[in-house]
Amino acid sequence: MRRLLTLVALGLVTLGALGFGAPADGVVMDTHFPIATCESEALPPRIERLLKPVLLALAAAIRSGQEWDTAYERAFYKLLEMKGPEAREAQAALMAYYTGEHYGEELVELARVHRSQFDPLVRRYRECRPKLTFEDQLSDVLVLRTLYKIYEGDFDSKK
């Protein structure tokens, strides 16, 4: 049942992505479940280095119109398979971006399996998303709170 709800929620995000908000420094803010950009908090460089290949590959896939891009898929799974505190933090930070339905579902499932590691990270990142130094290269990458809401079991498509 939880998997079905996750799929429905991610499907709504896909449909909602057609109504993008105005670009904000390269990324696009979701109009339904926006997440603020942290003005006073930067993402630690070691975490940003882990996120960068995934998000740049995602942006390239979006620009080329490739829903199933092998470079993006490799970068995503490389990060998903990493272990350790820095990897978990990068994975939690990645939840602020629309990675695709299938990839988002896998990210949420990973977080649920490692709930004790993700709970404090999700609490921190769900409030605001630290701006990235390479954000100007992420045109059309959607920023949203949806995966955090799904992780917490608080997804209501009407909110």
- Please state, in angstroms and rounded to a whole number, the distance separating the CA atoms of residues 78 and 3: 23
Stretch 39-57: mean pLDDT, rounded? 94
- Please state, in angstroms and rounded to a whole number, the distance separating the CA atoms of residues 122 and 127: 9
Is a pLDDT exceeding 80 seen at residue 155?
no
pLDDT at residue 128 in the model: 92
How many structural domains does the chain have? 1
- Asked, for residue 96, whether it belongs to a domain, the answer is yes
- Asked, for residue 142, whether it belongs to a domain, the answer is yes
Q: Domain range holding 66?
A: 2-151
Stretch 23-43: mean pLDDT, rounded? 82
Would you place residue 19 in the very low, low, confident or very high pLDDT band (cuts 50, 70, 90)? very low
Mean pLDDT of the chain, nearest integer: 85
Is a pLDDT exceeding 70 seen at residue 1?
no
- Asked, for residue 139, whether it belongs to a domain, the answer is yes
- Asked, for residue 131, whether it belongs to a domain, the answer is yes
Query: 156 versus 56: which is more confidently predicted?
Result: 56
Stretch 15-34: mean pLDDT, rounded? 64
Is a pLDDT exceeding 80 seen at residue 48?
yes
pLDDT at residue 69 in the model: 84
- Please state, in angstroms and rounded to a whole number, the distance separating the CA atoms of residues 138 and 24: 10
- Asked, for residue 159, whether it belongs to a domain, the answer is no
pLDDT at residue 17 in the model: 44
Would you place residue 77 in the very low, low, confident or very high pLDDT band (cuts 50, 70, 90)? very high
- Asked, for residue 12, whether it belongs to a domain, the answer is yes
- Please state, in angstroms and rounded to a whole number, the distance separating the CA atoms of residues 115 and 153: 13
- Asked, for residue 59, whether it belongs to a domain, the answer is yes
Integer-rounded Cα radius of gyration of the chain: 14
In degrees and rounded to multiples of 5, residue 64 shows phi and psi of: -85, -5
- Asked, for residue 147, whether it belongs to a domain, the answer is yes
Q: Each residue of 89-132: pLDDT tens digit?
A: 999 999 999 999 999 999 999 999 999 999 999 999 999 999 89
